[in-house]
Amino acid sequence: MKTILLHSLLFLLLPLPAPAASQEAPATIRVDYYHSGNANTEMFSLHQVVLEPLPWPGNPDKAIDTSGRGYFMFQVEEPVSGAVLYSRGYSSIFQEWQSTGEAREMNRSFHESVRFPNPEQPVRLRILKRNQAQGFNSIWTADINADDMLVVRAHEPAPAEVLELHVSGAPSDKVDLVLLGDGYTAEEADKFAADAQRLTRALFTYSPFRERAGDFNVWGINPPAVQSGVNRPSNGTFRYSPSGTTYDAFRSERYVLAFDNLGMRRILQNTPYEFVVILGNSSTYGGGGIFGLYSTVAADSDWSEYLFVHEFGHHFAALADEYYTSDVAYEPTTERPEPWEPNVTALHDPALLKWGSLVQENTPLPTEWPKQKFEAFQLENQARRAQLRAENRPEAEMNRLFEEEQRWVNELFAGYPGTNSVVGAFEGANYMATGYYRSEMNCTMFTRHDRFCRVCSDALIEIIDLYTPGAAGH
């Protein structure tokens, strides 16, 4: 198996040439494939190559991913020299599923896609997976020729009009985000539009999105649902979804994922997009986010605006969850590798802390915080939450519980002004009470807080810059 370290990739980078001002954007190529296996094995198989109906929305000067994020990376290569024409890091549902108990008992297949600008020449697609040394191993290649007669070129009509929710300029100069409706009937089209507009406004109340709003385009599309609402098997609510959106992903009641990748892509190809948020027409608290794939949010939840921003942080910038007291679907491990995500650390060597430049001199690492008080409260709080769900209590009771929880957390942290605004290493993160650390006592990725910590904010800015002409003038 070929091993390629991340830093060594820089020697083979050959970005696609920027088109002249009068030249049209290249076409968009989508490669669909199946990702199969179990907890210990995986394989890939090609499904199809698609020439999407819209031109490539990306910035021609930002063809190479310099962020180093993602469990996987794909590269579009010149077959003879191996020069990299385009690359992006990403994560996948398969990789998340591998960490569940089910993956130790059975094989499953997941449909996945990668998209890139048509290089107008035969190329080699390479999929790489992150290894323990934080480099990438090459695990699959496929030769792609967009001129092959079997490339899919015919498409069904768009299922709905594309809404312009926040358009700042040409797609090639902006981060292009599409909001995809799920569970909205034709009669609820206006409701989808209102929800999409409200959540778009909410995104731009959070820094750094507020300051960089001019670097975003936000679009909306809502394929009419046959029946209102989102699939939720745990309480007997079953709904058809063209994107396969459902609660109870991996049997976690609040985790919302879309499992019909092909159905989703057929809708999205009618919009200029790089990032996707699925708005579920539901009031039940829930959502999810996978880096480079999509994020989801229950649009009618009382906490929808927070959920939208939190889950988008996962999808957009690979921010890890910093909380650790809620139940999750993934099985814990005894190993403590240094996470590749930018906002959590195993702190194996405090002198090499990844956000060390933000830490003031004499700040202790690890950094003290009222951890025992927080955990004692959350132990009781999580038990109350589980009981509400088990008894299928009204969502209003769950919302009150969340309000009480956040009020208590805010009051607790306000009593520690010396560390409440300090950048350090606070134990408890990445779903683990010990062994992993976050950079600040509070953050949108830790509690239902209204602000990203400085480390998360910097990580978000880096991705904005990856898709736009740059930070000049900001």
Contact of 459 with 342, CB cutoff 8 Å = yes
One domain for residues 211 and 252: yes
| Domain boundary pick from 154, 179, 202 | 154
The answer to whether residues 137 and 175 belong to one domain is no
Model confidence at 246: pLDDT above 50: yes
| Domain around 447 | 344-462
Whether residue 297 is found in the same domain as residue 202: yes
Q: Is residue 72 part of a domain?
A: yes
Could you please report the per-residue DSSP string of 28-54?
Answer: EEEEEEEEEE-SS-EEEEEEEEEEEEE
Inter-residue contact 268 to 219 (CB < 8 Å): no
446, pLDDT greater than 70: yes
Considering the domain boundaries, does residue 336 fall inside one?
Answer: no
pLDDT band at 27 (very low <50, low <70, confident <90, very high): very high
| pLDDT value for 450 | 94
The model carries a pTM of 0.93
Of 154, 186, 207, which residue is a domain's last? 154
Classify residue 470: in a domain, yes or no. Answer: no
Per residue in 411-445, pLDDT (tens digit) is: 999 999 878 789 999 999 999 999 999 999 999 99
Distance between CA atoms of 203 and 275, rounded to whole angstroms? 14
Least confident of 130-139, 191-200, 204-213, 456-465: 130-139
Q: How confident is the model at residue 387 (pLDDT cuts 50, 70, 90)?
A: very high
Same domain, 115 and 234: no
Region 380-409: what's the mean pLDDT?
Answer: 94
Could you tell me how far CA 164 lies from the centroid of its own chain? 22
The three-class DSSP label of residue 245 is strand
Residue 48 in domain? yes
User: What's the token pair of residue 151?
Assistant: 């490339």
Q: Is 13's pLDDT higher than 60? A: no
Mean pLDDT, to the nearest integer, of 243-260?
A: 97
Is residue 18 predicted with pLDDT exceeding 80?
no
- How far apart are alpha carbons 382 and 390 in whole angstroms? 12
- pLDDT tops 50 at residue 42: yes
Q: What is the pLDDT of residues 174-187, one digit of tens each?
A: 999 999 999 999 99
Token digits for 134?
A: 């934080």
pLDDT band at 311 (very low <50, low <70, confident <90, very high): very high
Tens digits of per-residue pLDDT, 357-367? 999 999 999 99
**pLDDT for the residue numbered 331:** 59
Q: How confident is the model at residue 23 (pLDDT cuts 50, 70, 90)?
A: low
CB count, 10 Å around CB of 417?
9
Same-domain pairing of 94 and 7: yes
What does the pLDDT read at residue 350? 96
CATH number of the domain to which 30 belongs: 2.60.40.3250
- The string of DSSP letters for 171-231 reads GGGSEEEEEEEES-BGGGHHHHHHHHHHHHHHHTTSTTTTTTGGGEEEEEE-PPBSSSS-B
pLDDT at 24: 87
- Evaluate whether 64 touches 87 at the Cβ level (below 8 Å): yes
Can you give the pLDDT at residue 95?
96
The answer on 174 and 72 residing in a single domain is no
Say which CATH number the domain at 209 has: 3.40.390.10
Are residue 290 and residue 187 in the same domain, yes or no? yes
Q: Does residue 146 carry a pLDDT above 70?
A: yes
**Could you give the percent of the chain with pLDDT greater than 70?**
92
Residue 254 has pLDDT above 90, yes or no: yes
Q: 26 lies in a domain? A: yes
CB contact burial 278-310 (16+ within 10 A = b; e otherwise): bbbbbbbbbbbbbbbbbbbbbbbbbbbbbbbbb
Instruction: Over range 392-397, report the average pLDDT.
Output: 93
180 and 300, same domain (yes or no): yes
Q: How many residues does the chain have?
A: 474
107-131 burial code (b ≥16 CB/10 A, e <16):
eeebbbbbbbbbbeeebbbbbbbbe
Q: Which two tokens stand for residue 374?
A: 């927080």
Where does a domain end: 154, 177, 208?
A: 154
Is residue 337 included in any domain, yes or no? no
pLDDT at 305 > cutoff 70: yes
Residue 471: inside a domain, yes or no? no
- Is the predicted pLDDT of residue 453 greater than 80, yes or no? yes
Q: What is the mean pLDDT of residues 129-138?
A: 94
Q: Indicate the pLDDT class of residue 9, thresholds 50, 70 and 90.
A: very low
Indicate the average pLDDT of the chain.
93
Whether 30 and 176 share a structural domain? no
Can you tell me the mean pLDDT for 133-142? 95
Mean pLDDT of 156-170: 97
101 shares its domain with 237: no
Number of domains making up the chain: 3
Residue 162 has pLDDT above 50, yes or no: yes
pLDDT of residue 116: 98
pLDDT for 7: 35
Residue 470 has pLDDT above 70, yes or no: no
Q: How far apart are CA 328 and CA 299, in angstroms?
A: 22
333, pLDDT greater than 70? no
Q: Is residue 359 part of a domain?
A: yes
pLDDT in tens, 53-77: 999 999 999 999 999 999 999 999 9
- Please tell me the predicted confidence (pLDDT) of residue 21: 39
Check whether residue 237 and residue 304 sit in a common domain: yes
Whether 299 and 361 share a structural domain:
no
